[in-house]
Amino acid sequence: MKNNNTKNESYYVLLVISVALLFLSLANWDVFWVPFFITAIASIILLVLSIWVQIKLVAYYTLAILSVGGIVASSAAEYSPPVLTASIILFGVTVACIIATSQFSKHFGVGETSDSAELGALLEAAQMSENAKRVLFRGRELCFLRDAVQEDIEKGEFHSALVLCDQMANVFGAVEESEQMRTQVQQIIHRHHEDRIRNEMEQLETLLSEHKWVEAYQYAARLRRLFPESPLLQGLEQHIADARTEYGRNLEVSFLQAADNEDIDNAMGLLRELDSYLTPEDARKFKDVASTVVSTYRESLGAKFKMAVNDHRWREAIVFGEELTRHFPNTKMAEEAKEMLETIHVRLVEEETSV
């Protein structure tokens, strides 16, 4: 520290001398002072430059420049022998000091002190254990971790961000900061999950509106696996069950209305769909109405089949006959229709061929 202070003082002394020579040369401008003006400017530039760029032996170089200025000034003016003699002596002493200092630094490595210290620090750092390095560079490592967490959040890689938060707490002991960042990540995850779950719930409602109950339960199970802790999925299966029950009740009402209005075809279609929603107890409640509808529908279907055959409407007869045999296969009416269908098919072909 003492050497540095002494060195700085010599810099300022030389800078003052150079500035003084500059002003003297400007005040007494002639052939004698022109070299001093030039060397003063060169010295000031060198000294100012040494503040930002390390220049070895800058003081000696400054003295040498000023000495050369004195020699040139005395020679140009052809007078002031004392100035010439003093400048030559100062220049010689300065050059000798530069040579001696360089040789001393080369043999004893004085000038390489800072470089050797830096090299030694690098070698010492290379030999340290990983834990020692982590302690030494703790601040820098934490800064890298903060940046990495923010980068993972921006990329949507939330699991990786949580792992880095754990590392901040477990490795570097930044427990409070780690919890703050973990809370931030979890809040973002929660918002993303809520948005995604709402979109998924819209798809589920579409399945419910299409009465695809099996697919709806499968979809709900998938949501449970993806978001096991989400409160938005609370009562999801019950919601599906309630929707199915409500639709079944609507079917019951529609069926009874169709039966009361003697809309047999519509009532029969509703009865077929309602069959998968009725429990044995519910089925007993609708037994009488359902029997009436089924028998009426069967009789109506048989009558339509016979009328179509009598009117030679072969295509309609085939449709009615096949429906009769499909829904009431064990009835006598169905057996008769089955026997007649072969003949009807032949008649249809003959009729189309003749046309």
What is the pLDDT at residue 3?
Answer: 44
pLDDT tens column, 260-296 = 787 878 887 887 888 788 777 777 777 778 788 887 8
What is the pLDDT at residue 1?
Answer: 43
State how far the Cα of 189 lies from the Cα of 206, in Å rounded to an integer.
26
- Sorted by where each begins, the domain ranges of the chain are 2-116, 134-229, 240-354
Average pLDDT, the chain: 75
What is the pLDDT at residue 99?
Answer: 60
How confident is residue 50, by pLDDT bands cut at 50, 70 and 90?
confident
What is the pLDDT at residue 239?
Answer: 92
pLDDT tens column, 140-181 = 777 887 888 888 877 777 778 888 888 777 776 777 877 888
What is the pLDDT at residue 110?
Answer: 46
Alpha-carbon torsion 21, 23, 24, 28, what sign?
A: positive
What is the pLDDT at residue 217?
Answer: 92
What is the pLDDT at residue 2?
Answer: 41
pLDDT tens column, 196-226 = 888 888 899 999 999 999 999 999 999 888 8
User: Would the pLDDT of 241 be above 80?
Assistant: yes
How confident is residue 332, by pLDDT bands cut at 50, 70 and 90?
confident
What is the pLDDT at residue 28?
Answer: 78
What is the pLDDT at residue 88?
Answer: 57
Averaged pLDDT for residues 70-92: 61
- Does the structural domain 240-354 have CATH classification 1.10.1060? no
What is the pLDDT at residue 6?
Answer: 43
User: Would the pLDDT of 117 be above 70?
Assistant: no
What is the percentage of the chain residues whose pLDDT exceeds 70? 75
What is the pLDDT at residue 14?
Answer: 73
**Does 104 or 35 have the greater pLDDT score?**
35
Threshold 0.85, pTM exceeds: no
Angle at which helix 213-226 crosses helix 175-209, to 10 degrees, equals 180
